[in-house]
Each structure stands twice: as C-alpha cells, then as structure tokens.
Structure 1
Amino acid sequence: MRKLIFGMNLTLDGYIAAPGDDIGWSGGEGPDSSPSDELFQWWYEQMRASELTLYGRKLWEAMSSHWPTGDQRPNATQAEIEFARLWRDMPKVVFSSTIDQVDWNARLVTGDAVAEITRLKAEDGGPMDIAGATLAGAAMRAGLIDEYAVVTHPVLVGGGTPFFTALDTWVNLNLVERRTFPGGVVLTRYETRR
C-alpha cells in the first residue's frame, strides 16, 4: 500500500493562499521573493522521494505554467533547473472536471477523486504527494492522508484558502519531525495515527 503525503507552504494563521490566490508571502522576506535555498532543496528532495504527485486543477495550472520551461529561463539557478527537469519527468495525476487535457507526464482524471486516490493508494509502490487544497480536503475527509508536512511561514494574512478542511471526526497525529529554515520558516511533519 502506498503512503499519501499532503505538504504545502502555509501562513501562521493556516492559509496556503491569501485572498485572490496570492502566494507572494511564501517566498521569504517579502512579496515576490524566493524561498531560501535550504527550503527549496527540502521541497526538491520531497518531490524526488515521491513516485507520483496528485494535483488539483488550480495548483496544476500554476505549476504547469512555470515548471515545464523553468530550466530554460536565463536567470534560473542550478536548483531551479534540477527541479524543473524532475517536475517534467515525474508521473502526475491531475483531477479536474473543467479541463480536458494535460501534458508533462500527467494523466487526467475527471471522475470521483476519492475513489481514484483510494485505488492508487492500494497499489504497490512508493509514496504519493497530494497537492492542492480542494483535492487534499477531499482526501482528508475520506481519511486517506498518511502524513502532513506543514511548512509554516511567519506571516498572518487574515483569510484565503485554508490548509486544513472542516472534518466530521478528529484525526490524531504523531509528530515525526520538526525543523527550522532561514527566515523563521518551520517544518512540522506529522503521521496519522491508525
């Protein structure tokens, strides 16, 4: 059985995006800045350790608008070049009922996301990452997430898209890692108690 991991950058008040889908706060010291090299490397290693990434439409559109050519940008760092190449080659599943095709080693699922995620989890293989608040929320409510990687940035935005969804029952977790990155960013990883 595969492990399903939900990890994203979020604000101290629990949002993955401020109102208007603004994620400028996630870069570091100010709007439109980049994350620290150390944090960027951590995200790269997370993706490299995963066998499959599951995307909701919004995050898919954001990632696929940047990373397919991220290694060809004149100011791309070596880390960005490596990330772009890994992202392109990584198997991906995109869940959406509003788009009709995907590229970059991805396949599209337009039907029941929870049923498909359940099927993928039951397969043999390495870990899967789930990305996107709506998709992860459905998996969370269905009890499918095995690990949460919470990368908290020291900023309050007052509203937006929450990392956690409303749940019908409690989910008990075990802390498995805590790490600090430059700029006061804190990673906490939790495994779901089964």
Structure 2
Amino acid sequence: MRKLTFGMNVSLDGYIAAPGDDLSWGVSSDEQFQWWSDRVGATGLALYGRRLWETMSSHWPTADQQPGATPAQIEFAGRWRDMPKVVFSSKISTVDWNTRLVTGDAVTEITRLKAEDGDFMDISGATLAAAASRAGLIDEYVLVTAPVLVGGGTPFFTALDNWVNLNLVETRTFPGGVLMTRYETRR
C-alpha cells in the first residue's frame, strides 16, 4: 500500500496562499528549494487539484528554458515534468507532461491508487487534500512554515468531521526562520 503525503508551504497563520492567490510570501531559500526538488524527485505519483495544477503547469514545463534559469530551477523543472501526475478536475479537458486527468470521484480514485504498490504519493491543493483528509486517506502532513502572517486566503487545513491525531516525526530549520515539520497520522 502506498503512503499519501500532504505537504506545502504554509504561513504561520495557516494559509497556503494569501488573498488573491498571492504566493509571493513563500519564496524559498536555495536550501529549501533543493529540499522541495528532492521530494519531487522521490515522489512516485503526484496528485493535483485543478487550481494548483494550473499554477504549476503554467511555469514549470518550460522553466528550464527561460533566460537566467538557475541549475536548481533546471533540475526541478526536469523532475517535475518526469514525475507521474494525476489531476482531479471536471473543469479542464486536457493535461500534459506525464499527467492523466481524472474527472470522477477523487476519494474513490485516491483510495484505489493507495492500494497499489509503489513509492509514496504526494497530494497538493487545498480542496483535494481536504477531501482526502476527511476520508482518512492522508498518512503524513508536511508543513513548511514561513515566519509570516498573511491574514487570510486559502487555508492549509479545512474543516474536518473528526479529529486527526498526529505524531511528530521530523523537524528541520531552513534559512530565514522557515521550519519544516513532518507528522504521521496516528491510526
């Protein structure tokens, strides 16, 4: 059975995007960016909601071809393109870059994917992750917390039907006071 992880950059007050989908507060240090790149390189399958897919696919497929692209950005772009991905959406009709589209019930498909053998799956996007969390499918939460209060926007955690008890399994500090915390779901 595959492990399902939900991990994203998050503000100290719990948002993955500020109002207006502003992500400018989450600029990564080189060390933090490399950590994310290494996670992408190790991910067996990435699960995306439509909005985050649109954000990522508007930049990373050609980021390595842009003037001034750093070696780290070039590496990340290649890893992102190569990583198998599933996008869950009923609003788009095509996807690209080693990706397939699922228009049906996300929880049913994620449950099926978890039952397969393979490396861990990463789920991204607040709405998709909330559905998986409410269904009890997330095995691990990774918060990369920036020392900023954005005051609103898209929350990392949405309302749940029940408590989810967690065990802290790892912490790491990045430059600029950014703290990574990794928790496993206690079952």
Q: TM-score range by the shorter chain?
A: over 0.9
User: Which residue of structure 2 lines up, in the alignment, with residue 23 of structure 1?
Assistant: 23
Matched pairs, number: 187
Distance (Å, rounded) in 2 between the aligned partners of 1:44 and 1:157: 25
The residue matched to 1:68 in structure 2 has which SS? coil
Deviation at 1:171, TM superposition (A): 0.6
User: Which residue of structure 2 lines up, in the alignment, with residue 62 of structure 1?
Assistant: 55
**Stretches of structure 1 lacking an aligned partner (at least 5 in a row):** 28-34
User: Which residue of structure 1 lines up, in the alignment, with residue 166 of structure 2?
Assistant: 173
Indicate whether 1:82 and 2:75 are aligned. Answer: yes
Distance (Å, rounded) in 2 between the aligned partners of 1:127 and 1:178: 19
Deviation at 1:49, TM superposition (A): 1.3
User: Which residue of structure 2 lines up, in the alignment, with residue 142 of structure 1?
Assistant: 135
**Stretches of structure 2 lacking an aligned partner (at least 5 in a row):** none
Letter matched to residue 168 of structure 1: D
Deviation at 1:7, TM superposition (A): 0.2
Distance (Å, rounded) in 1 between the aligned partners of 2:118 and 2:172: 27
Indicate whether 1:7 and 2:12 are aligned. Answer: no
Over the aligned positions, Cα root-mean-square deviation in angstroms equals 0.5
Identity of aligned residues (%): 77
Deviation at 1:136, TM superposition (A): 0.3
Letter matched to residue 112 of structure 1: D
Deviation at 1:48, TM superposition (A): 1.2
Deviation at 1:168, TM superposition (A): 1.1
What's the CA shift string for 1:97-138, capped at 9, x where partnerless? 100000001000001000000000000111000010000010
The residue matched to 2:60 in structure 1 has which SS? helix
Distance (Å, rounded) in 2 between the aligned partners of 1:22 and 1:111: 29
What's the CA shift string for 1:65-113, capped at 9, x where partnerless? 0000011011110010010011111110000010000000100000100
Distance (Å, rounded) in 2 between the aligned partners of 1:176 and 1:44: 21
Structure 2 residue aligned with 1:191, among 173, 184, 187? 184
Deviation at 1:59, TM superposition (A): 0.4
User: Which residue of structure 1 lines up, in the alignment, with residue 102 of structure 2?
Assistant: 109
TM-score between both structures, scaled by the size of structure 2: 0.99
Give 1:152-167 correspondences, 5 Å limit: 152-167=145-160
Letter matched to residue 92 of structure 1: K
Distance (Å, rounded) in 2 between the aligned partners of 1:178 and 1:85: 27
Distance (Å, rounded) in 2 between the aligned partners of 1:90 and 1:16: 22
User: Which residue of structure 1 lines up, in the alignment, with residue 43 of structure 2?
Assistant: 50
Distance (Å, rounded) in 1 between the aligned partners of 2:141 and 2:9: 11
Distance (Å, rounded) in 1 between the aligned partners of 2:37 and 2:78: 11
The residue matched to 2:162 in structure 1 has which SS? coil
The residue matched to 2:39 in structure 1 has which SS? helix
Distance (Å, rounded) in 1 between the aligned partners of 2:121 and 2:81: 16
